[in-house]
Amino acid sequence: MSRGAVFSLYEIVKKINFICTTAAGILLLFINFSIFVDVFLRYFLGRPSIWVTEVSTYLFLYMIFLATSYALQRELHITVTFLRYRWSPRAKRIFDLVCSILAMIFCSVLLWQTTVMTWSAFKEKWTSPTMLNAPYAYIYAVMVVGSFLLLLTFLLRAIVSFKGSDLSPDDAGET
């Protein structure tokens, strides 16, 4: 893959990550609003809903997996930096590359396992044991998408970094 193709693909992935994070933000607003309404219904009208807690839990899973790649792209993940201040720029790049490789291995296993679990849930028609009887395949599918985007973001960031380009967290792809 040529240098231009990698940078173009990374720009596309950054835009997808931004769209996913925007969707996660909208989900957060919906969760907050629905919990507020449920609290009002429960404590002031004595008529609690039966779906808010379960749906909020599933949507929280969506929020996490939709926003994780964007957090990586913007360098918002928790990092331990106190040792890095003493390292040379070359040592920092090598350390970042090793960490990215380990993270890509983790993301690959996560993608594989979530795909297997989602496919099993789809094939065997798993549903939640609650009154909603929600199909788990649709709930688990976001883990596959989020794991794939996270793996792709790690991979492209590692390639761009290895080729010597500056990865500025300010360049997040929202245009």
User: What confidence tens digit (pLDDT) does each residue in 100-143 have?
Assistant: 899 999 999 999 999 999 999 999 999 999 888 999 999 999 99
Instruction: Give me the chain's average pLDDT, please.
Output: 89
**Residue at 174 is within a domain:** no
- Confidence check: pLDDT of 149 > 80: yes
User: Which of the pair, 48 or 22, is modelled with greater confidence?
Assistant: 22
Q: Pick the closest to residue 36 from 54, 20, 48 (CA basis).
A: 48
**Residue at 173 is within a domain:** no
**Residue at 107 is within a domain:** yes
Q: Pick the closest to residue 27 from 55, 59, 65, 49 (CA basis).
A: 59
**Residue at 13 is within a domain:** yes
CB neighbours (10 Å) of residue 78?
6
User: What backbone torsions phi and psi does residue 135 show, to the nearest 5 degrees?
Assistant: -75, 120
The vertex-113 CA angle with 107 and 116, nearest 5°, equals 140
Query: Which residue segment(s) compose the domain that 52 sits in?
Result: 3-162
**Residue at 167 is within a domain:** no
Domain count for the chain, please give it: 1
**Residue at 85 is within a domain:** yes
User: Which of the pair, 164 or 88, is modelled with greater confidence?
Assistant: 88
**Residue at 105 is within a domain:** yes
With tokens 């940078």, the residue in question is 7
d(C-alpha 10, C-alpha 51), whole Å? 39
Q: One-letter amino acid identity for 107? A: C
**Residue at 122 is within a domain:** yes
Distances (CA, A) of 50 to 31, 38, 98: 14, 9, 47
How confident is residue 172, by pLDDT bands cut at 50, 70 and 90?
very low
How confident is residue 28, by pLDDT bands cut at 50, 70 and 90?
very high
